Amino acid sequence: VVAELVGAFWSGSLSLAADAGHMVVDASGLVIALIATRLMRRPRDEKHTWGWARSEVLAAALQAGMLLVICVMVAWEGAWRLASPPEVEAGPMLLVGIIGLVANVVSLAILAGGREANLNMKAAFLEVANDALGSLAVIVAAGAEWAFGWARADAIASLLIAVLMAPRALTLLRRSVAILMEQAPASVDVAKLRAHMLGVDGVLGVHDLHVVAVSSHLVTVTAHVTVTHEADGPSRDRIVHELGECACHHFPIAHSTFQLECPEHASHEHMEH
């Protein structure tokens, strides 16, 4: 980051400044990811009954928001520079671009092993991967400016960095907001889950069915299940067992809670949704 900021000031390169800003966000994003990882390891208590599992989602949403802000700023300045390109020193720009690329490749090697662990780690890995592409864009722009005297290469490289950042930031933000809004995760087809539950012997109906992701790897289900009058204690135990087995074996659901009811109970319920 320091090398790119010095290089941007020295050469007048917007793409270097953009990549430096991107790396500042990513460096802070890695700190956020580290804090979130530590919080996720905390045990649950009476106040935080799910522990701090959702820390990874909040961290990913924060990183996505920061990236979008940088993306808009870079795109705005890049558009102005494309229309009226200033003079840029290609030599320092090329040197610092290479330093940035090497640093990002080393970081990618470190993060590669854990990138599929959760949404938080995936965000960290993708941020550094995008930084590497940004450094590569700086190198190409510096080469074009040096070899051909193409003054607009720097502005185009900065716009390319913004274009690289935007889709990833929006995807990450969309996934994070979906979890925070308690949207049913894409990994669970709620209609199929309901059909499976209705297929259990003794089940007459399923309502108030909620499928929620507490974090990217912790999916829960709650439901009110109407059972026959003939369902005695052992039969109800069997129904609960079969419903739980269905949820965890046919779907990626880690935690299930089912309320068994007789058909007449529906008239006593007062549900807001």
Q: What confidence score (pLDDT) does residue 165 get?
A: 77
Identify which has the larger pLDDT, 118 or 253: 253
Whether the CB-CB separation of 123 and 29 falls below 8 Å is answered with yes
* Arithmetic mean of pLDDT, 27-35: 79
Q: Summarize pLDDT for 60-112 with one digit per residue, the tens.
A: 888 788 888 878 887 887 888 777 777 777 788 888 888 888 988 998 888 88
pLDDT in tens, 235-248: 999 999 999 999 99
Quickly state the pLDDT bin for 199 (edges 50, 70, 90): very high
Contact (CB, 8 A) for 16 and 78: no
Q: pLDDT exceeding 70 applies to what percent of the chain?
A: 96
Residue with tokens 């990183």: 63
Domain 2-180 has CATH 1.10.10.10: no
Q: Is the pLDDT of residue 217 over 70?
A: yes
Q: What is the C-alpha separation between 76 and 68, in angstroms, rounded?
A: 12
Residue 272 has pLDDT above 70, yes or no: no
Same topology, domains 2-180 and 190-268? Answer is no
* φ, ψ at 167 (rounded to 5°): -60, -40
Q: Inform me whether the pLDDT recorded for 33 exceeds 80.
A: no
pLDDT of residue 259 exceeding 90, the answer is yes
**Per-residue confidence at 225, pLDDT binned at 50, 70, 90?**
very high
Quick one: pLDDT band at residue 50, thresholds 50, 70, 90? confident
The span from the CA of 246 to the CA of 256, in Å, is 10
Which residues neighbour 230 within 8 Å (Cβ) at sequence distance 6 or greater?
Answer: 202
Across the chain, mean pLDDT equals: 84
CATH number at 190-268: 3.30.70.1350
**Res 237: pLDDT:** 93
How confident is the model over 132-170, as pLDDT tens digits? 877 888 888 888 878 777 778 878 887 887 887 788 788
Residue 212, strand partner residues: 220
Reported pTM = 0.68
Q: How far is CA 67 from the centre of its chain?
A: 12
Domains of the chain, residue spans? 2-180, 190-268
Q: Which of 128, 117, 118, 156 is nearest to 140 (CA)?
A: 156
